[in-house]
């Protein structure tokens, strides 16, 4: 099919050539067709004929592919140059080293932990995969057996995740201290007083970009930040919990529990409270999570027990 950029004269000429007509060299559109490889000139007779359109198409595609390949190589070169320049901005000699790959970050952390002499402090604001936690538990236990003081900070949401619960149970039994925070905190790993790894928070940073810090003043500052985060967090030895200042129930969930104890169905409760059945079920799901039970019978037993006496008094 002719290019949409062809002039009307070139299109008309191409149709004539494809139909087998031999055209004199002075016909309008010849130069356009020749430039695209769609027409062939016979110098002996001074005439134009149609080229093999399939061959012309493949030639054009090959030319475009070559151009795209050149552009891709240029983009790769620019990306590599950008990476090198970013590294050049922060030479390792000043106590800050830029790490742009996950394997570099992991290797740096592993080496530092293997050489730890007194303390390790970690803060993980995100969820850690269960597989990562299981493999980490092995190395973390080895660290604890060396007598290293080990502290880890997680978000409160970690208390409801099986992977973190299992990890805490293992390392906590060997002396690790774990706390969770209801507020956001900075991810970091600190080893002794001479090593730290923190993510690159610049706007154009990649997902696996980080800084290895050995500058004494900067490491001391990060320890100060960590200690501040630690003091605001709650101790965790595994399992579920609630904060000291919080209750397990809300005003509406207490009304739901009271109506369940009176024998109401969920549909009746929703109607009496003026909410949807879905809302009632959502409230019950939150109660299961907060109390640590899995059935409505167990939830009802808890609500009638001495353990829930303070909650019932809230009305």
Confidence at residue 127, expressed as pLDDT on a 0 to 100 scale: 86
Where exactly does CATH 3.30.870.10 map onto the chain?
Answer: 96-235
Residue 212: phi and psi, rounded to 5, are: -95, 120
Residue the block writes with tokens 């009305």:
315
**Homologous superfamily of 96-235 in CATH?**
Endonuclease Chain A (3.30.870.10)
Number of CB atoms found within 10 A of residue 82's CB:
11
Where exactly does CATH 1.10.10.10 map onto the chain?
Answer: 251-313
Q: CATH for 251-313? A: 1.10.10.10
In whole angstroms, give the CA distance from residue 12 to residue 29.
Answer: 8
In whole angstroms, give the CA distance from residue 44 to residue 218.
Answer: 82
Contacts 24+ apart (CB under 8 A), 199-204: 200/98
Exposed e or buried b per residue across 236-264, where buried means at least 16 C-beta atoms within 10 angstroms of its C-beta: bebeebeeeeeebbeeebbbbbebbeeee
Which pLDDT tens digit goes with each residue over 150-180?
Answer: 999 998 888 888 888 889 989 998 999 999 8
Beta strands in 3-146 (DSSP E): 23-24, 39-42, 47-50, 96-99, 119-123
Which pLDDT tens digit goes with each residue over 275-297?
Answer: 889 889 988 988 888 887 788 88
């Amino acid at each position: 099919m002719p290019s949409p950029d062809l002039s009307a004269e070139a299109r008309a000429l191409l149709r004539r050539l494809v139909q087998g007509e031999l055209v004199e060299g002075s016909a309008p559109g010849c130069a356009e067709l020749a430039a695209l490889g769609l027409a062939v000139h016979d110098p002996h007779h001074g005439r134009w004929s149609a080229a093999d359109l399939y061959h012309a198409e493949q030639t054009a595609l090959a030319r475009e592919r070559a151009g795209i390949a050149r552009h891709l190589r240029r983009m790769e070169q620019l990306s590599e140059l950008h990476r090198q320049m970013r590294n050049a901005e922060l030479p390792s000699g000043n106590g800050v080293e830029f790490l742009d790959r996950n394997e570099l970050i992991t290797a740096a952390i592993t080496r530092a932990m293997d050489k730890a002499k007194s303390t390790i402090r970690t803060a993980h604001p995100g969820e850690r995969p269960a597989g990562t936690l299981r493999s980490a538990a092995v190395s973390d236990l080895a660290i604890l057996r060396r007598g290293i003081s080990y502290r880890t900070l997680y978000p409160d949401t970690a208390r409801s995740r099986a992977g973190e619960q299992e990890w805490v149970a293992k390392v906590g039994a060997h002396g690790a201290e774990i706390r969770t925070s209801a507020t956001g905190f900075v991810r970091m790993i600190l080893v002794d007083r001479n090593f730290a790894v923190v993510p690159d928070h610049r706007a154009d940073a990649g997902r696996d970009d980080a800084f290895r810090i050995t500058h004494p003043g900067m490491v001391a500052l990060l320890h100060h930040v960590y200690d501040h985060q630690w003091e605001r967090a709650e101790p965790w030895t595994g399992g579920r919990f609630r904060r000291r200042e919080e209750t397990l129930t809300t005003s509406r969930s207490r009304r739901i529990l009271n109506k369940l104890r009176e024998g109401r169905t969920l549909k009746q409760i929703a109607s009496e409270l003026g909410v949807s059945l879905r809302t009632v079920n959502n409230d019950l799901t939150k109660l299961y999570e907060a109390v640590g039970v899995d059935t409505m019978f167990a939830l009802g037993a808890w609500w009638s027990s001495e353990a829930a006496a303070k909650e019932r008094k809230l009305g």
